[in-house]
Amino acid sequence: MTAVQGITVDIPTEDGVADAYLVHPGDERPRPAVLFYQDAFGLRPHLQSMADRLAEAGYTVLLPNVFYRNGRVPVFDLPEFIDPAANPNTWQQIMPVMKALTPELAMRDAGAYLRFLADSPLVADGPVATTGYCMGARLALLTAGTCPDRVAAVAGFHGGQLATEEPDSPHLVAGRVTAEVYFGHADQDASLPPEQIQRLEEALTAAGVRHRCEVYEGAHHGYTQADTPAYDQEAYERHWTALLDLLERTF
């Protein structure tokens, strides 16, 4: 297993400074980069451990605090084990912050994250990959459609609201995506009903995007998050297989 080094970095954006977790193999050679988008609960130890695992596989990984406008990490006062059903205040903290991060703001930030990676001596020349979880799956797809020349691979897991009927729905960027795309949906996920899964599939197919969308049977929204009740070990390991396969094909 490759030893990795992780540090906190500050990334200048058009609206301030985003704190982020940057982790890379310890030899400090330039490696392909992965822009890792958080879920709604924010940048925290479990997500850092996931970024570490990606770095162990040979990648430089940037995990930004996408809620930086609301403060540095930790943005929310959450327990080590996050169970919103047991604490109704959880979503009261998070929802206003999520809603304030519009696609326009998020993609302005994406440009800053991609510039940071392009300038880093720890990142190999060429395009990057994006991966995201829950709301991060939306951000990963939007980034690929907004910056198609910079993103060669997109992965999203238990993403919600990926193909709504709203004018800013993520699936509407499909025609601009040049990356290979993989989605691992949860079949027990009210935030991504079957009609949205179908709409996303149809949009990617119509745009000629090389992609694969799979539904993880029995998995719930948040199945990769070991610090929540939604965690599913089997689905979690399946997601790693799919993600690493995608990255190996890309890089």
Which residue in 39, 46, 109, 134 is the catalytic one?
134
Judge whether 134 counts as a catalytic residue.
Answer: yes
Please give the C-alpha separations between residue 221 and each of 96, 135, 144, 160, 169, in angstroms, as whole numbers.
Answer: 20, 11, 23, 8, 19
Which residue in 39, 109, 189, 227 is the catalytic one?
189
| 43 CB burial (10 A radius; 0-12, 13-18, 19+) | buried
Q: Which two tokens stand for residue 188?
A: 């027990």
Distance CA 196, CA 131 (A): 20
Judge whether 213 counts as a catalytic residue.
Answer: no
Distance CA 109, CA 122 (A): 20
∠ CA(55), CA(148), CA(135), 5° rounding?
A: 60
Q: Which H helix or E strand runs over 218? A: strand 211-220
- Selection from 38, 69, 70, 5 nearest residue 157 by Cα: 38
Which residue in 158, 220, 221, 239 is the catalytic one?
221
Catalytic positions, written as ranges: 134, 189, 221
